[in-house]
A and B are shown apart, each in its own frame.
Chain A
């Protein structure tokens, strides 16, 4: 079946602009996660959605970052007033209810000039 997909694959933007990154999880997966991977670094947790529960936003680095998940499926990560330090690969992952294995998407490579 289809894996986790993300769009766009690459995004170049100017400092101060807003960007939206999209994640389509595997069909039937109830949990969705966003991570950020800066160059040469590990993966940093950003936000977690589980079904219809309130999201865990504890990893969001600032109030410029927000995320939504509509209909329990597609998720959008929004970064407002982008800064150069926001440049990174943003990865999305999903899991099936009751399981821990997270399946990652290919990521969106964001470059803020």
Chain B
């Protein structure tokens, strides 16, 4: 079955800096890769996703890149702000589409 590894587990940056979170997956059949943001005590919220026919996707300060050959994908946040502080989860879903397999999360802290 699918296995998703996520690094780093914690990340501290200064406001205005960029943050990068990386994930690898094991199932080459996986074709959908969402990123969720979870603030303390809140539900996970989808922030961006990418499908396997696309190499990069951008939405304002957030971008995701996908390397199918290497089976890894990354989240890039530019010009970080304190409100970006949260736990970020990457996930992958296979062609069966039965469930998201999540990484263990990255706690991002942005200090002003």
By a beta-carbon cutoff of 8 Å, the part of chain A in contact with chain B is 33, 35, 41-45, 48, 56, 58-59, 91, 100-107
Complex partner residue of A45 from B43, B49, B99, CB under 8 angstroms: B99
Contacting A at CB under 8 A, from B7-58, are 32, 34, 36, 42-46, 49
- A29 CA to B98 CA, complexed, in Å: 14
- A106 CA to B105 CA, complexed, in Å: 18
- Say if the beta carbon of B76 comes within 8 Å of chain A: no
Q: Specify the chain A residue showing the minimal Cβ separation from B96.
A: A56
B44/A104 in contact, CB under 8 A: yes
B34/A101 in contact, CB under 8 A: yes
Of listed B36, B43, B104, residue having the most chain A CB within 10 A: B43
A42/B102 in contact, CB under 8 A: yes
14 contacts between A and B (CB under 8 A): A35-B100, A42-B6, A42-B89, A42-B102, A42-B104, A42-B105, A45-B101, A48-B99, A58-B98, A100-B34, A102-B34, A102-B100, A104-B45, A106-B42
- Chain A nearest CB, measured from B108 CB (Å): 15
Q: Chain A contacts of B105 at CB under 8 A?
A: 41-42
Question: Main SS of the interface on chain B?
Answer: strand
- A44 CA to B97 CA, complexed, in Å: 15
A43/B100 in contact, CB under 8 A: yes
A48/B98 in contact, CB under 8 A: yes
Query: Given A42-B89, A43-B89, A48-B98: A104 and B103 within 8 A (CB)?
Result: no
A43/B93 in contact, CB under 8 A: no
B42/A43 in contact, CB under 8 A: no
Q: Chain A contacts of B45 at CB under 8 A?
A: 104
- Chain B nearest CB, measured from A35 CB (Å): 8
- Chain A nearest CB, measured from B74 CB (Å): 17
B34/A42 in contact, CB under 8 A: no
- A105 CA to B43 CA, complexed, in Å: 6
- Chain A nearest CB, measured from B23 CB (Å): 11
- Chain B nearest CB, measured from A80 CB (Å): 23
Q: Chain B contacts of A102 at CB under 8 A?
A: 34, 46, 100
